[in-house]
Chain A
Amino acid sequence: MSYLYQFCNNFSFLILSAIGLSIIFGMMGIINLAHGEFIMLGAYITTFLATAGVPLPVAILIGALGTGVFGFLIDRLIISHLYNRPLDSVVATWGISLIMCQGMRILFGSSIPGTSTPLGSFSIGDGKYSVYRILLAVIALLVVVAVYFIFMHTKIGLHARATMQNSSIASSMGVNSNKMYALTFAFGSALAGFCGGLYAPTMSITPDIGSNFMMESFVTVIVGGTNPLVGTVLSGGVLGLVRSFLEMNMGTFAGRVGLLVVAILFIRLVPKGFSGLVDNIRKKMEVKKHAKN
């Protein structure tokens, strides 16, 4: 039971922290080094609202929305000038992360009063389990389903996937690819803000809170590859298992080291991550299927 709980905990943390980053990287090829600070922004907005008396679920949604709007503005003002310039966008987003982190420190000091983790806990045998943490795992799954639905079953999702594959051809079909990129960046940012809002009640709210998420989110994206759905889910699942096993047997530090080791192995053995792996398998199956026809 405690293995399962730990796995759910790790899986939801990896998925929620990585999915926004993964969408921005997979769809736009932009490595957003300010991703952690976007999570921080979501956590701040949520905490301010929650401590002011706004119900937590509403505060979390406003946190996500606020971070999405902020992401949209950052895209229009800065990122849109750096499309197809991945290295420049790395430097720019790093700069944005520094400004956001220090800006928060100047504006609100080294920490703000947080909210307590809601919903309490329950015990089974010797183990004590937080209901909120279990809820987070359910929410992580719902986020994956929602993202899948948006990308696979809506018109805007189809246009986003087409733009990701070939933006010039998509624009020659009538898709405004700049608008598509701006929406994608805003959506990825909103998911980062959502993650920050969800985890805000579980941690101390400080300007450098984003660094708690950065390593995990980047490792998940590296191991997952460019497909924000298949890659992130498989990567979150496998890394969640590895981390839970190591944490339960050898401690938290071993869990973090284990994630990095898996990432290094993946870069060496499967450079395109789970996305590339699944893509190859699917292509082989299609070829076999049509060879039969």
Chain B
Amino acid sequence: MILEVKNVTSGYDRVMIVNNVSISIDKGEIVSIIGRNGVGKSTLMKTLIGLLKTSSGEIDFDGANITKMKAHNRAKSGIGYVPQGHGIFPNLTVEENLKMGTMINSDGTQKNFEMVYDYFPRLAERKKQMAGSMSGGEQAMLSIGRVLTGNPKILLLDEPSEGVQPNIVSQMGEIVYKISSELGLTVLMVEQHMGLIQQITERAYVLDKGAIIASLSQEEVKDNQIIKQYLTV
């Protein structure tokens, strides 16, 4: 098991958004956390990377307890966080954005850059362009590519489909799937785009009002009836 979240509660100031959540992910799996808007999906992701404090519970990553660890140390321990809205640095060039990822783990940096450019040739063409002037889809690719340069052990994807054209979303899904299978990379994705969830997810947790209310197998994820029940308002 690479990531284990045990009875975690967290939120902003005194308002708790995530309540007593427990999930576990094995190495190499692609797991989704699904749910409607405002149920606490992004809050849970921010708690996992350490941008929000854990009020109670425990987070174990790669055999270490990281509950009290600060965000920058969690990143260095191998967590690659791709935030909601992509979180690229708009006034840095594409290349500089990618360099930021190497803080996660600077071993084999050049090789990792080449790998990222192979997965996302568009980024190679736009190395010197300011990241803020790129389209939503390109920013999403940059955001994923950026953490890959640091050779992470897990990818935390927070709604990667947001602000991306529908035809690009499935292309992005293909690349994420390819990356995970070729590199053996674990992926935990928060999403509400049904197509993307069904395209790459091996199993899923359903989050509602900050709590896990169901755990779905791959067959259940692929069942439109079941998945719609949890995603539509």
Contact = CB atoms under 8 A, between A and B. Distances in A.
Interface string B141-167: 000001100100000000000000000
A174 B89 contact: no
Interface stretch (B10-18, B20-28, B93-101, B172-180): B93-101
A165 B90 contact: yes
A176 B70 CA distance: 9
Contacts of A290: 129, 133
Interface residues of B, number: 29
A165 B50 CA distance: 19
Instruction: Give the interface residue-count category, chain A.
Output: 20 to 34
Interface string B77-102: 00001010001011110001001110
Contacts of B133: 283, 286-287, 290
Nearest to A163: B89
Q: Is the interface of A mostly helix, strand, loop or mixed?
A: helix
B49 interface: yes
Nearest to B147: A173
A123 interface: no
B99 A174 contact: no
A105 interface: no
A47 interface: no
B36 interface: no
Interface of B: 49-51, 70-72, 74-76, 81, 83, 87, 89-92, 96, 99-101, 103-104, 129-130, 132-133, 146-147, 150
Rank and list the top 6 A-B pairs by shortest CB-CB distance, nearest first: A174-B103, A174-B75, A286-B133, A169-B87, A171-B71, A172-B81
Interface of A: 155, 158-159, 161-162, 165-166, 168-177, 279, 282-283, 286-287, 290
